[in-house]
Chain A
Amino acid sequence: MKSMPNKPAFFLDTQICTGCKTCIVACVDKNNLDPGIRWRRVVEYTGGEWKSLPDGTFQQSVFSYYISVSCNHCAEPICVEACPTTAMHQDECGIVTVDQDKCIGCRYCQWACPYSAPQYEAQKGLVSKCNFCIDEITSGGSPACVAACPTRALAFGEYDALLTNSGPSLTTAPLPDEKLTSPVSVFKPHNLGKPVDSTAGQIANPEEIKDA
């Protein structure tokens, strides 16, 4: 049994994430999630165009990159602020979890979260979300998504240590501005990454990331 890391955080290197979605499969398998419930999602952000030049050649500005995202266990979690029952709560380590005995299924947390982290399970009438695989972490393991990532794009560790090792986190579109909820995750941007307010691209797989 290991002690919980202080302020555990996910790290994603978007430069090497291939969008294989093994993290999603591992998460669904580990947590035995119902079909359609995805605590982790992989967003494909794509855009750009081909331009015909006068000399008969073409110039392209096409880009595409993947962002694997689950709950970011934000420092200012809007879901915790919104939840009327305190079912959505943050522990002393910073992990945000749902107490399903208190959840009333009002879905207000789902309205508020800009990362689509809370997932509504219609059959149970309750919201569920990523709990950072607390059981795995406390027994010395890694969250299922991190353990399964074949390219090691996804990692986890203490937030401050991750920042020290990889430099400052820089979120890119289509993720929202960090100032909204102060996510405790570290994103290493793709070299073609667009700024958060960019409209240069679009989400290519909206059906896969929409609210459950």
Chain B
Amino acid sequence: MRDHWSLVLFTLLIQTAVGGVWCLQAASFGGMRLMNLPYLTYQLVLIFMLSFVGLGGAFLHLGKPFNSYHVIRNVNRSWLSREIVTVGIFCASLLLLMVLDRVRPGMLNGRILFIASLTGGMALVAMTRVYRLRTVPSWNHAGTPLAFLSSTLILGGLQCTVLLDLYGWLRTGGSGMLTQDYILKVVFMACAIAGIACKFLAAGLNPKISSNSGTYLTRQPVLQAGGLAIWMLYILINGDPGWQSILLILTACSLISGEVIHRNQFYKSYQRVGL
């Protein structure tokens, strides 16, 4: 396994985008009227940009990117082909959502958001199946989909929380948070915490393999536990927006670094049967 940084970029960014859409969907299911929020525009643009850069990362991985128009030819058999198709549909639904948000706000967005959530879910399923090769036992276990799901929820929840915090700062100058924003933030943080819970479950399902050792193995849980601790502080220091924002950024840096290291470790753990 070499040159897997482009795949780390691709998988994490697409999962962040899917997680972001799921967080919006969770808020929508919770009764929030998202379509009237100016915040939504920024959120959709950010999610779309993340997916776009993520797809770019996938191209960097290819030896012959100019042949990539062939990539959907084996959609009836290859999970890699299905992954690209579903990620493509996900990006297209995001683009549609973004355009509708500008052109016909509040008309079709709710349904398109649901479609985007669904296609994002399909992309995530395809992404996990790509790695569940029967000849690669170090990936072919239930820990892989669970780890991908946890990354989706953690990164999506974090990304939404940080953007909402930043948006709140720009709008109110840090003088306080609106009730609506507060509820949204609780939903986003709940998604990320659910992701951390999945991470613990996934860690328990990983098989013990020789390459799954070394500094990476210790750095990732330390960073993620540190991130979680700072996050708890963030929740406890409720009322001081300045401190809260600093703590939130520290939380995000710590958890994102943990995710990057974890994904890198995932690729390094590649072990195939046979030769």
Enumerate chain A interface residues (CB-CB to B < 8 A): 41, 43, 69, 78, 80-87, 101-108, 111-116, 120, 122, 124-127, 174-177, 180-181, 203, 209
Contact = CB atoms under 8 A, between A and B. Distances in A.
B273 A104 contact: no
Interface string B100-131: 00000000000000000000000000000010
Nearest to B78: A84
A16 B19 CA distance: 58
Q: Specify which of A69, A102, A203 lies most central, judged by the most chain B CB atoms within 10 Å of its CB.
A: A102
Interface of B: 1, 61-65, 67-68, 70-74, 77-81, 84, 130, 133-136, 270, 272-275
A114 B135 contact: yes
Nearest to B65: A104
Contacts of B70: 84-87, 102, 104
Contact of B71 (A85, A107, A125): A85
A83 B74 contact: yes
Nearest to A117: B275
Nearest to A112: B133
Q: What are the 8 A-B residue pairs with the smallest beta carbon separation, nearest first?
A: A105-B63, A125-B63, A114-B274, A176-B274, A84-B81, A85-B70, A84-B80, A176-B273
A125 B133 contact: no
A35 to B, nearest CB: 17
Given A111-B133, A176-B135, A104 B68 contact: yes
Contacts of B135: 78, 112-114, 176, 180-181
14 contacts: A78-B135, A82-B78, A85-B74, A86-B73, A87-B70, A104-B68, A104-B70, A105-B62, A105-B63, A111-B133, A111-B136, A124-B63, A176-B275, A180-B274
Contacts of A82: 78-80, 133
B275 A174 contact: yes
Q: Specify which of A69, A101, A112, A209 lies most central, judged by the most chain B CB atoms within 10 Å of its CB.
A: A112
A42 B255 CA distance: 45
A116 B274 CA distance: 8
